[in-house]
Amino acid sequence: MFKTLLSKRNELPLYVITVLLLLVIAFYNWVIAVLALILIIGAYVLTLKNKNERNREISQFFDAISQSVDQASTYAVQNLPIGIAIIDMQSSLCWANSVFRDWVGDIGNDQKLDHIMPNLNIDKFWGKFGYFFEHIGERYYRVVYKYLQTEAADDDNYLILYFEDITETETQKLHCLEAMPVFCDIEIDNKEEVAKGMSAVQKATLWTNVNNCLVGELTGRGCFVRAYGNDNYIACMSRQTLTDLKNDNFSFFEKIRSIHTVNRIPVTISMGVATFPEGVVTQGKGRFNELADKASSGLDLALGRGGDQAVVYEEDGSAHFYGGKTRTVEKNTRVRARVVAQAIHELIDTSDLVLVMGHEREDYDSVGAAVGVAHMARLAGKPSHIVISNQTDAIRRLQEKMIDMPAYKDLFIKQDEAEAMCNNQTLLFIVDVHRPDMTVAPQLLSMTDRRVVIDHHRRSSDFINKPLLTYTEASSSSTCELVTELLQYYQEDVELAKIEATALYSGIVVDTKNFAVQTGVRTFDAAAYLRRSGADPDVVRELFSTDFDTIKERARVLADAQISDGIAMASCPEGMKNATILAAQVADMLISIDNVEAGFTFYYLPDATIGVSARSKGLINVQLVMEALGGGGHRIVAGVQLKGRTLAEAQGDVMTALHDIVDKEKETDK
């Protein structure tokens, strides 16, 4: 329009001059002026026609160029080397270019994308910008999402997804991660017990067979293995090899156990395995000495859990357990007990105060061991107290008997009293438990650095941090047995009072079910020592006696038990008195039934918590089942407390964990 006006403005002087000339000609000869006007009009019409034709051709030319640009733009969008998809608030596909459709296959408009993209969280992404990674089929993508806001209602807004194919780089990354080194610390954990009574030739033959099996199995998988010492190995493997070992649950453990021995005791090994966390690998901050230290810690954890298993520190830093099928073999030597007793004596001598605590909701093993440790402190002339919880119904009778005696009037204290007197010169003993969250007073653990742990449960990954001394024997029947052995080596003139010997004896009786389970030679030696020290079985029977109403309650719980496929489950009604003790008794009775391999009793605890007592005849490892839910124990005796769960939910959790463990063991046995 501007050009047209400008053109007309330039032609105006020409028109004025032409008119003036025509007027001059007409003044002299009007005929010639008329002829000139006709010629001028004809020339103007012809010129205007040519001009319009030329403008039309130019317009067509530019229209053609514009159409070509539009076609090129459309082609470019449809065939960019990235996929583009537009979705609505319901994750339904509104539009996608041909590249996206080629990558994901046949997909129509209005079809939801969340079923092929698990990481597509529309509620999280809506209204925002960012990116995430997605794995579709055999390919990997980096997906950039951008929110598109229109002038319409919010329901008409969209989310644009841009897909970048990173399969090649991601595949290379995965290959690099699979090739990353994994360190293993390996030990034959029962060499002394297996070799006892063998001749030199038999020992040499046996260890040659074990070495050939272990080294052959690992080198066959491409691992580097070297022996150091008499029964230790160090190995290095790739992360892919570790994945293969985990998938078959370290099945070569079974091959080593199947090696024939003269005394029929199977050879078992323990492994600590450590791998770099993925974040450390990608940032290039991994140190091999730290990896070796982690593997060594894993081996210590495996041995603390009784051996015959592998402890693997996964990429997220958490410990996972594999193997652990055999029962823990009792150690015949007491050398360690003597060394630990001497170390405890020195620690008590350099302390101002001794505090002892067990696990919450104490049982006789916990309080009996605490009484034995408190006696050690009194022998050294140090003040001592036992910290107890607010839920001591299980040990109420023993507590009342001791409080009535002047010598033990101030022995038991509550958590707030202990916190008021605890300082960094206080020696804190933790007995019959090693997990901080299960102790009577977890706050005490941070109030002193002088901590000693004595426990007989299989060690879990969340062990009390940095104790000065640890004495854990998973092969022992009870913590009271361990403390009794320590007392014998503590000093020469140890004289237990009758009530103290009875407390320790009751702990052994309750954990061995009257010497029926988890009982070895050292168990009877400890019981004999306590009997010589004055332990009274009549008092123990009195402590464990029950009234008629409790017997009726137990019968009612048993009558409502359900048995299916060798698994028995019973539930204590809410509000039942002494539910913890009764549940343990019911669980013991369940496995005495024919064709029942494992029994679980559920009971109510305060703070919306469900307790579980688990028992097994030995075929099913209930310790692994309870560990999967955050509990622990032994292969045939274990338990857990499930917070914030209803009874039905707790039963479902136990059955799910049980089936996972049983299915895994079945796959390994194939």
- pLDDT tens by residue, 487-514: 999 988 888 999 999 999 999 998 888 8
Q: Determine the pLDDT at residue 11.
A: 66
Q: Give all strands of the β-sheet with 139-148 in edge-to-edge order.
A: 93-96, 83-87, 158-165, 139-148, 130-136
| Contact status, residue 395 vs residue 362, Cβ threshold 8 Å | yes
Q: Give the residue, 150 or 76, on which the prediction is more confident.
A: 150
Q: Determine the pLDDT at residue 6.
A: 42
- DSSP designation for 264: S
Mean pLDDT over the full length of the chain = 83
Measure CA 152 to chain center.
Answer: 47
| Contact status, residue 337 vs residue 327, Cβ threshold 8 Å | no
Q: Concatenated DSSP letters for 574-622?
A: TT-TTHHHHHHHHHHHHTTSTT--EEEEEEEETTTEEEEEEEE-SSS-H
- Tokens matching residue 587: 């669980």
- Tokens matching residue 222: 């491409």
Least confident of 363-372, 442-451, 479-488, 572-581: 572-581
Q: Percentage of residues in the chain with pLDDT exceeding 90? A: 26
Phi, psi of 360 (to 5 degrees): -65, 150
Cα–Cα dist 118/97, whole Å? 21
**Section 45-63 average pLDDT:** 70
Class of residue 407 by CB neighbours under 10 A (exposed 0-12, middle 13-18, buried 19+): exposed
Class of residue 57 by CB neighbours under 10 A (exposed 0-12, middle 13-18, buried 19+): exposed
- How confident is the model over 605-644, as pLDDT tens digits? 888 899 999 999 888 888 889 888 888 877 888 889 898 8
3-state secondary structure of 415: helix
- How confident is the model over 182-192, as pLDDT tens digits? 999 999 988 87
- Pick the closest to residue 627 from 411, 375, 322 (CA basis): 322
- How confident is the model over 93-151, as pLDDT tens digits? 888 887 888 888 777 766 788 778 888 888 888 888 888 888 888 888 888 998 887 76
Maximum Cα interatomic distance, the chain, rounded to a whole number of Å: 162
| Contact status, residue 438 vs residue 360, Cβ threshold 8 Å | yes
Q: Determine the pLDDT at residue 235.
A: 93
Which of 87-91, 369-373, 548-552, 642-646: highest mean pLDDT? 369-373
Cα–Cα dist 152/433, whole Å? 63
Q: Give the residue, 460 or 10, on which the prediction is more confident.
A: 460
Cα–Cα dist 568/612, whole Å? 13
How many Å from the N-terminal Cα to the C-terminal Cα in the chain?
A: 88
Q: Taking 60 as the threshold, does the pLDDT of residue 33 lie above it?
A: yes
CA-only gyration radius of the chain, Å: 42
| Amino acid at position 144, single letter | V
Match 């080294």 to its residue by tokens: 215
Bridge partners of 139, per DSSP, are 136
Phi, psi of 46 (to 5 degrees): -65, -40
Q: Determine the pLDDT at residue 61.
A: 57
Q: Determine the pLDDT at residue 607.
A: 81
Cα–Cα dist 363/214, whole Å? 42
Which of 175-179, 315-319, 356-360: highest mean pLDDT? 356-360
| Contact status, residue 369 vs residue 442, Cβ threshold 8 Å | no
Task: Give the side-chain half-sphere CA count within 13 A for 446.
Answer: 4
Cα–Cα dist 411/395, whole Å? 14
3-state secondary structure of 263: coil
pTM over 0.75: no
Q: Determine the pLDDT at residue 282.
A: 46
